[in-house]
């Protein structure tokens, strides 16, 4: 392996070393790093506090026609916690092994993408390219804890509305095959808590109407549906994870003592509802609660709603057509899917802004949030080439 490293790789590794790890991200250091990056690409630089201590960085490269809807390149600066004892190397050392695999928290999710944007723009400017449309880069906080105090606050600001975003690019995730995946929507989040009240009493009795019996029925209904959806996914090769609904029991609460039947038990479920089931899913939940017994109720952690999707039919959306054509020029085998989890693009899509989740990372195991997260430097560098084509074509899309 050559001892001379591509400067873009060095830049990426330096970004990984900044410990923007939840729950106490070092946003001050990442903001200073990004300020230096803005100088390198010749971009206007602005810091906006979404909430006190939670800064969003906005870089702007004005286009030749600033009246046209702009291109937004978004990434988040925070990363999820680590368990260092399970890592081969220090998760913030950005260690590169003899294969060129760079280990570190954020290598896949999603500091690689933020640097790829910047390095692609550097090359475009070096090659003398100009942009018809204004290009904005946003580096936002708090995505890994839901984004409400990051992008969720930013989109509400008049400053954001003045960016006039026409299309936003944000994260997807790695594809273990030769293809790369573009996400045009996401499943609806339906996190809820089911409360099961019951007859309290001594643990030695056969009492009726207990909280435990009701909780068992709730678990059977919810996880029985989970099993059916898992079978549906496995039996139909045309389905992807985003096409089915996942349900997982994540928290159990209740009880005071071994020999005392509880007056109440609470069960928390993380549920991601596929678009085809959104309209009927809450009715299912109501039915399951009614079947479980008297007094069983549920409460949503946030309002349950259909998630907006971008039109990706050929010939019907110039943004998508341009994106797909640019991928083809870059020899990208493209697959389009519903994102199975959640990203900051839910806030933009809710405002009617087209958004694509795309991480140019193929032939790579999916390790976001996992131990030993890594990205190979060749895959990283190819991603810069791909964004070079994407940014060039999207930022020069003629008015439509």
Average pLDDT value for the chain: 97
Look up the domain containing 193 and give its range: 189-300
Whether 138 and 71 share a structural domain: yes
252's CB contacts (< 8 A; 6+ apart) are 265, 266, 267, 268
Task: Report the C-alpha gap between 321 and 397 in whole angstroms.
Answer: 10
Give tens-digit pLDDT for 95-141.
999 999 999 999 999 999 999 999 999 999 999 999 999 999 999 99
Check whether residue 143 and residue 158 sit in a common domain.
Answer: yes
pTM above 0.85, yes or no: yes
248 and 219 co-located in one domain: yes
Whether 378 and 260 share a structural domain:
no
Do 156 and 21 lie in one domain? The reply is yes
**Residues 267 and 314 occupy one common structural domain:** no
Radius of gyration of the chain (CA): 24
pLDDT the model gives residue 379: 98
- Out of 101, 109, 142, 143, pick the active-site residue: 143
51 and 195 part of one domain:
no
Residue 258 covered by a domain:
yes
Cα separations in angstroms, 260 against 104, 204, 210, 298 = 48, 9, 11, 24
Task: Read off φ and ψ for residue 32, nearest 5 degrees.
Answer: -65, -45
∠ CA 155-158-161 to the nearest 5 degrees? 60
CA–CA dist 10, 16 (Å, integer): 10
Question: Strand pairing of 70-76 and 297-300?
Answer: unpaired
The domain that contains 25 carries what CATH number? 3.40.630.10
Q: Is 206 among the domain residues?
A: yes
Q: What is the helix (H) or strand (E) element at residue 63, kind and residue range? A: none
Q: What is the token pair recorded at 5?
A: 């490293």
Domain-embedded: residue 30: yes
Q: Verify whether residue 142 is a known catalytic residue.
A: no
In order of 97, 130, 173, 389, 392, the CA distances from 385 in angstroms are: 23, 17, 18, 7, 11
Q: Give residue-wise pLDDT tens across range 214-227.
A: 999 999 999 999 99
- Asked whether residue 257 falls in the same domain as residue 279, the answer is yes
Domain end position, chosen among 241, 274, 300: 300
Catalytic site includes residue 335: no
Residue 269 sits in the same domain as residue 285: yes
| 183 and 194 both lie in a single domain | no
Residue 400 lies in a domain: no
**Predicted local confidence at residue 306, as pLDDT:** 81
Q: What residues in the chain have per-residue pLDDT under 70?
A: 1-3
pLDDT of residue 307: 87
In terms of domains, do 134 and 17 share one?
A: yes
How many distinct structural domains can be found in the chain?
Answer: 2
Confidence (pLDDT) at 2: 52
Instruction: Find the catalytic residue in 78, 171, 243, 344.
Output: 78
Domain boundary among 251, 280, 300: 300
CA–CA gap between residue 62 and residue 130 (Å, rounded) = 10
Residue 1 lies in a domain: no
Q: What is the CATH number of the domain that holds 239?
A: 3.30.70.360
Of 274, 300, 326, the one marking the end of a domain is 300
How far apart are alpha carbons 224 and 229 in whole angstroms? Answer: 9
Query: What is the DSSP code (8-state) at residue 31?
Result: H
Question: Are residues 309 and 357 in contact, defined by beta-carbon separation less than 8 angstroms?
Answer: no
């Amino acid at each position: 392996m050559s001892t001379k490293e591509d400067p873009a790789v060095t830049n990426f590794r330096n970004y990984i070393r900044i410990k923007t790890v939840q729950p106490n991200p070092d946003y001050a250091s990442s903001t200073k790093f990004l300020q230096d990056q803005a100088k390198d690409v010749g971009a206007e630089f602005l810091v906006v506090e979404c909430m006190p201590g939670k800064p969003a960085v906005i870089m702007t490269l004005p286009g030749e026609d600033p009246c046209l809807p702009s291109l937004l390149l978004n990434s988040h600066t925070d990363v999820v916690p680590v368990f260092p004892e399970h890592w081969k190397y220090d998760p913030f050392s950005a260690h590169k092994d003899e294969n060129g695999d760079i280990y570190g928290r954020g290598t896949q999710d999603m500091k690689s993408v933020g640097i790829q944007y910047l390095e692609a723009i550097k090359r475009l400017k070096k090659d003398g390219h100009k942009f018809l449309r204004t290009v904005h880069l946003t580096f936002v906080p708090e995505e890994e804890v839901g984004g409400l105090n990051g992008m969720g606050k930013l989109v509400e600001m008049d400053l954001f509305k003045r960016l006039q975003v026409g299309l936003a690019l944000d994260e997807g995730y790695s594809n273990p095959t030769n293809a790369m995946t573009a996400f045009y929507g996401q499943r609806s989040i339906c996190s809820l808590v089911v409360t099961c009240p019951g007859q309290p009493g001594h643990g030695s009795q056969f009492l009726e109407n207990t909280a435990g019996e009701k909780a068992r029925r709730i678990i059977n209904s919810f996880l029985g549906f989970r099993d059916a959806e898992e079978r549906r996914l496995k039996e139909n090769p045309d389905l992807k994870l985003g096409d089915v609904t996942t349900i997982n029991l994540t928290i159990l609460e209740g009880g005071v003592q071994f020999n005392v039947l509880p007056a109440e038990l609470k069960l928390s479920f993380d549920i991601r509802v596929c678009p085809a089931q959104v309209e009927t899913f809450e009715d299912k939940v109501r039915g399951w609660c009614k079947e479980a017994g008297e007094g069983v109720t549920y409460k949503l952690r946030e309002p349950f709603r259909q998630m907006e999707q971008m039109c990706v039919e050929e010939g019907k959306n110039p943004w998508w057509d341009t994106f797909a054509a640019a991928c083809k020029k870059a020899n990208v085998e493209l697959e389009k899917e519903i994102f199975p989890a959640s990203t900051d693009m839910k806030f933009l899509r809710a405002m009617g802004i087209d958004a694509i989740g795309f991480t140019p990372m193929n032939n790579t195991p999916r390790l976001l949030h996992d131990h030993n997260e890594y990205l190979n430097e060749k895959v990283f560098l190819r991603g810069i080439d791909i964004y070079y084509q994407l940014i060039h074509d999207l930022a020069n899309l003629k008015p439509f």
